[in-house]
Structure 1
Amino acid sequence: MNNKIKFSDLTIKDFLFFNRMITPTFITIVYWIALFCITITSLAMVLGSFALFAYSFSAGLFTFFTGIITFVAGFISARIGLELICVLFNINHNIQKLANEKTDSETQE
């Protein structure tokens, strides 16, 4: 997904009628925001577990390991989810190329 969209080339018609996809450029931004939120949440869970140890050892231990699992599973699921969106856009791009090639070959005949 190294295709950067130049916003100077983007017209209102492209924006309103979906002639060009702008979502792939925002996926990277969404990915970094998601990683930041996952990190903050899991860090809060791990640090909050130390406060729970004073009341209940098992609850603190459970929250500590839940925070670690949230960190790992969150990073993996965010990556997989956003990669699936990228795959959908790649499929769309390839289908458009095939359709353009077919119409080009029909016009040459």
Structure 2
Amino acid sequence: MREGALHTEPARLDQLFHALADPHRRAMVTRLAQGPAAMSELAIGLGLALPSALKHLQVLEKGGMVASTKQGRTRTFALDAQGLAAMQAWLAEHQRQLGAGFDRLDALMRATPEKEAP
């Protein structure tokens, strides 16, 4: 296992995956992939009351998926590339390990002579 790729703290990964475990939060991330949005816009788009939307956005923020800024009375949310990068690195390492396992299996199957059926 390479150092770094899976070195993301387990608690951090737990927060990231928890943040994406809810369909409303995934929909918010999908919307924010298009660009920053005000909390009210996200709430209306999902048919949520503002307090509910805020709770979902706080989970996403705590998980490192989004960051918020406040200008006047408007709180705007945007995707945080660092959170996505940590999750992507974790997934890429597991995909690499899975691929290496399949490569070993393929090599073993090629090295094993086939038996003919009777």
Both proteins in one fold, TM over 0.5: no
Question: TM-score, normalization: structure 1?
Answer: 0.37
Question: TM-score, normalization: structure 2?
Answer: 0.35
Of structures 1 and 2, the one scoring higher in RCO (CA 8 A, sep 6+) is 2
Q: Which has the higher strand share?
A: 2
